A and B are shown apart, each in its own frame.
Chain A
Amino acid sequence: MPRVIVSLLGLALASAACASSRPPTNTVADALASMRGAEELGAAQVPPAALQLQLAQEELERARRLMDDGKNDRAHAMALRAVNDAELAIALTREAQARQAVEQAKQGVDARTPEVTP
């Protein structure tokens, strides 16, 4: 009997968790903020970052549809995916910009390197 009670209790707790999960509005907001940040940095001009940003946008769309269907847990997971994709988009944009800065600095060095006079 106690076994059955324990399992019942577990089931109840699990369903309670499921039922009580709220719409992941905070995570969606985080995703939106990160996506906007990536856009402002110029992720659209950096192909790998643009891809990541697009993934985030699609995931956010799916998260919203899941929220509409009341599937908040799945929506939360999908919004989290969007957050991480957007953050990676930001990092990839920064990487491209840093690489460009290195190139420019090296060109500057080359330009200032005195020609070897024979």
Chain B
Amino acid sequence: MSPSKPIPFFVAAAIMVVGCAHATPSELVAARSAYEQAATGPAQEYTPAELHVAKKSLARAEALFEDKGDTSAVRDQAYIALRKAELAATLGRVAVLKRQAAAATQEGRQREEQEAARTRAELKATRGVLATQQAANTATEEELAVERQRREEAEARAAKVAADLANLAAVKQDIRGTVITLSGSVVFASGKHTLLPSARSRLGQVAEALLKDEADATYVVEGHTDSSGTAAVNNELSRKRAEAVRDYLVERGVPADRITAEGHGADQPVAENSTAEGRANNRRVEIVVKPRTAR
């Protein structure tokens, strides 16, 4: 075995030399790789100072390795360079995450504001609609109230007029309209067509009542007689009496263009001419009130 001894020793020595010259410690390999990774990551933009420290640390490890080969000092330095590179890469990632968090927070705030603005707009719109509806309701109610009041007033006025007329003379409704009947004996002396003084005040009240009626009606004053006497005389008398009443009413303010006079003689009796009472009823003046709508 002794002759073979020098050969293994030589081989071992050769291997050692080769190993010393070329074997790179695993720490240095890892450090190179880690630095490469860090240098191509976000660290180059966000943490260049830390990356620079890592670079210098790696360079020192490389220089030591170049100088002394695989020694514990090289391994120590390479280990530190590895950690520096990892630190730079990690801090770069932290910077990126912080930016992302800030952006997300900002976006959240914007969303919140948008949402709040949307809610406010909806609320405003809803309030607007409500206000419009309320205004419409109020307007309708007001209109209804006004209309109701107007109708009530008109009805009250009509009732008042009817009541006033009823006090003065017989008032009835027939197809011609409202008919106010004035007894002939009350208004005229027998055979005459001038108004009695007592009739003047009553007709004045009739005129007032008619004027209060704002329905803008037209009036026809009809004169009637009983059947005693000739038709010519009766027609003449009834016409003159109607005209007398008309003239007096015009004198008291009833518009002349809305009131006409007609003489009907004994043609339209309302009672028997055979009795004194019947004849008295037939002698009359009727004021026919024709509502405006009937024109």
- Stretch in A3-11, A16-24, A37-45, A103-111 touching the partner: A103-111
Q: Is B100 on the interface with A (CB-CB < 8 A)?
A: yes
B66-108 interface code vs A (CB 8 A; 1 in, 0 out): 0000001100100110011011001101100110110011011
B225-252 interface code vs A (CB 8 A; 1 in, 0 out): 0000000000000000000000000000
Q: Is the CB of B76 within 8 A of A80?
A: yes
Q: How far is the CA of A101 from the CA of B84 in the complex (A)?
A: 25
The answer, among A88, A95, A112, A113, for a CB contact under 8 Å with B83, is A88
The answer, among B76, B100, B101, B115, for a CB contact under 8 Å with A81, is B76
Q: In the assembled complex, how far is the CB of residue A118 from the closest CB belonging to chain B, in whole angstroms?
A: 17
Q: In the assembled complex, how far is the CB of residue A56 from the closest CB belonging to chain B, in whole angstroms?
A: 10
Interface size class of B (residues with CB under 8 A): 20 to 34
Q: Is the CB of B118 within 8 A of A114?
A: yes
B131-155 interface code vs A (CB 8 A; 1 in, 0 out): 0000000000000000000000000
Q: Is A36 on the interface with B (CB-CB < 8 A)?
A: no
Pair count A-B, CB < 8 A: 70
* B-contacting residues, A54-100, CB 8 Å: 74, 77-78, 80-81, 84-85, 87-88, 91-92, 94-95, 98-99
Chain B residues with Cβ below 8 Å from A105 are 100-101, 104-105, 108
Q: Is the CB of A102 within 8 A of B97?
A: yes
Q: A84-B83, A109-B111, A112-B115 are in contact. Are A102 and B90 (CB under 8 A)?
A: no
Chain B residues with Cβ below 8 Å from A109 are 104, 107-108, 111
Q: How far is the CA of A87 from the CA of B80 in the complex (A)?
A: 11
Residue on A with the closest CB to B73?
Answer: A77
Q: Is the CB of B94 within 8 A of A94?
A: yes
Binding site for B on A (CB under 8 A): 74, 77-78, 80-81, 84-85, 87-88, 91-92, 94-95, 98-99, 101-102, 105-106, 108-109, 112-114
Q: In the assembled complex, how far is the CB of residue B278 from the closest CB belonging to chain A, in whole angstroms?
A: 89
Q: Is the CB of B76 within 8 A of A106?
A: no
Q: How far is the CA of A74 from the CA of B86 in the complex (A)?
A: 23
Residue on A with the closest CB to B112?
Answer: A112
Q: Is the CB of A114 within 8 A of B115?
A: yes
Chain A residues with Cβ below 8 Å from B97 are 95, 98-99, 101-102
Supply 10 A–B pairs (Cβ within 8 Å), ascending by A.
A81-B79, A87-B83, A88-B86, A94-B94, A95-B90, A98-B98, A105-B108, A109-B108, A112-B112, A114-B111
The 9 A-B residue pairs with the shortest CB-CB distance, nearest first, are: A105-B104, A98-B97, A84-B83, A77-B76, A91-B90, A112-B111, A108-B108, A109-B108, A101-B101
Q: How far is the CA of A99 from the CA of B104 in the complex (A)?
A: 12
Q: Is the CB of A102 within 8 A of B101?
A: yes
Chain A residues with Cβ below 8 Å from B83 are 81, 84-85, 87-88
Q: How far is the CA of A84 from the CA of B84 in the complex (A)?
A: 7
Residue on B with the closest CB to A81?
Answer: B79
